[in-house]
Amino acid sequence: MRVLLVAGVDVALPGGLETHLRELARGLAARGHAVAVLGRASAPVGVPVVGDAGDPRAWDVIHAHGPSPRALDAHPGLVRTLHFCVAAKMAVYVRIGRLRTLLNLANWAAVGEERSWAKRPGRLLAVSERVRRDFARLHGLDPARVEVVPNGVAPGVPAEDRAALRARHGVPAEARVLLTIGRDDFVKGHGLLAHAWARVRARHPDALWVTVGGRAPARAPGRLVTGPVPHAEVASWIAAADLGALPSYYEGCSVALLEMLAGGLPTLAHDVGNAAEVIVPGGNGALVPPDARAWEAALERALAAPPARAAVGLADDFTWPRIVERVEASYRAALGARD
């Protein structure tokens, strides 16, 4: 098949949507399909990235991962993945008092765009059951139209072992390390976690909270931000940490959460995205209410009696080869419906 992935992002960046696009494109190409990405890339990503789709009829499948020109709606092989629901995210912000989200005109434009998808043609995929429910509840989308195909995770191979990584960063072998992955902005909930962490660390002065990612490296008592790092170093920190955290207020399907769980790292998370589907309380982690006191209590329990690293990570359903197979099957269904 000739497949065009439509993305309004820089597919070379490390975010969840960008990772999804790269892995899907590479996986489809490995299965013999002719794949290109309509978007931009600040570095090579292993597949062609084009700035112009050309004649849409040149493609068997056009797979949109966000806003797409309405001219593509007539394409008989149109598929769209719903990665998140802006209306649901705005509702979360309002509930927690961040009312300025209502003044952001770009948010309202995005809500209008995603509402239109409920009425526009094409086969629909969603990265989690929650995203499917949000579109049904807030945009009147018939959930029967939507197939859930989650984000995937590629098993990371640590670039160096636990002891070596800790030694390189001056982290004592016996220190308890809490790990978060990704940028530090409001929606990721790091401010909430910081309130809880300050109180917990007063009782556990050797504990260290490491954030892999961020704009630049930074160090403070009880805190380390690595700045941008290669993916192999993300895997190294997952192996070197004792506990993971996902305090996000909103997610569609968190790749960071999947990576930590796949690496066997017990993880605390808000009930966002597909967290409730992949976290087994008492097994590979726990769900925590979005409250600083609740986080303090959960962190205290975990640091006082560190959970064993989970022997079982994630099911094969979350490996990229399996995800690519499911997306490919969806393409074939779309083409079959056309015939």
Both 279 and 182 in one domain: the answer is yes
Cβ neighbours around 70 below 10 Å, total: 9
Task: Pull the structure tokens for residue 180.
Answer: 């978060």
Are 239 and 161 spatial neighbours (Cβ–Cβ below 8 Å)?
Answer: yes
pLDDT tier at 283 (50, 70, 90 boundaries)? Answer: confident
- Verify that 115 and 42 share a domain, yes or no: yes
Whether residue 69 sits in one domain with residue 131: yes
Q: Are 171 and 49 within one domain? A: no
**Is 157 part of any domain?**
no
Identify the H or E element spanning 211: strand 208-220
Instruction: Output DSSP code: residue 212.
Output: E
CA distance 290 to 98: 14
* pLDDT, tens digit, 9 for 90 and up, residues 265-279: 999 999 999 999 999
Check pLDDT > 80 for residue 339.
no
Question: Is residue 136 one of the residues assigned to a domain?
Answer: yes
List the CATH number of the domain containing 133: 3.40.50.2000
Residues 135 and 242 in one domain: no
Measure the CA–CA gap between 247 and 180, rounded to whole angstroms.
9
Q: Is residue 252 part of a domain?
A: yes
- pLDDT of 53 reads 86
Residue 207 domain-assigned (yes or no): yes
The Cα 238–Cα 159 span in angstroms is: 11
The helix (run of H) or strand (run of E) holding residue 285 is: strand 285-287
Does residue 227 share a domain with residue 271?
yes
Q: Which domain holds residue 39?
A: 2-152+319-338
Tens digits of residue pLDDT in 50-85: 999 889 999 999 999 999 888 888 999 999 999 999
pLDDT digits (tens, 9 = 90+) for 76-129: 999 999 999 999 999 999 998 899 999 999 999 999 999 999 999 999 999 999
User: Smallest Cα–Cα separation from 326: which of 150, 155, 154?
Assistant: 150
Distance CA 219, CA 184 (A): 14
Alpha-carbon span 146 to 129, nearest angstrom = 9
- 202 and 285: one domain? yes
d(CA 254, CA 259): 9
pLDDT in the model for residue 312: 61
* 38 in Cβ contact with 5 (< 8 Å): yes
Residue 311 has pLDDT above 70, yes or no: no
Does residue 59 contact residue 75 with C-beta atoms inside 8 Å? yes
Residue 244 tokens read as 């993971």
* 229 to 7, 158, 178, 213, 226: CA distances (angstroms): 24, 12, 18, 7, 7
Residue ranges of E strands in 45-117? 49-50, 61-64, 78-82
- Rounded to whole angstroms, how far apart are CA atoms 189 and 270? 10
What are the b/e assignments for 142-173, b being 16+ CB within 10 Å? Answer: eeeebbbbbbbbbebebbbebeebbeeeebee
Query: Do 320 and 152 contact (CB within 8 A), yes or no?
Result: yes
Q: How many domains does the chain have?
A: 2
Question: How many CB atoms are closer than 10 A to CB 115?
Answer: 17
Tell me: do 92 and 125 sit in the same domain: yes
Residues 148 and 179 in one domain: no
Which of 39-43, 157-161, 189-193, 294-298 shows the lowest mean pLDDT across its residues?
Answer: 157-161
E runs forming strands in the chain: 2-10, 34-40, 49-50, 61-64, 78-82, 123-126, 146-148, 177-181, 208-220, 223-227, 243-246, 267-269, 285-287
Does 201 reside within a domain?
yes
272: three-class secondary structure by DSSP:
coil
Residues in the chain, total: 339
- How many CB atoms neighbour CB 108 within 10 A? 15
pLDDT at 282: 86
262 in the same domain as 134: no
Q: Are 166 and 182 within one domain? A: yes
Burial of 230-242, coded b for 16+ CB within 10 Å and e otherwise, reads eeebbbbbbbbbb
In a domain, 112, yes or no: yes
For the chain, give the percent of residues with pLDDT over 90: 83
**Same domain, yes or no, for 208 and 115?**
no
Overall average pLDDT of the 311-336 stretch: 90
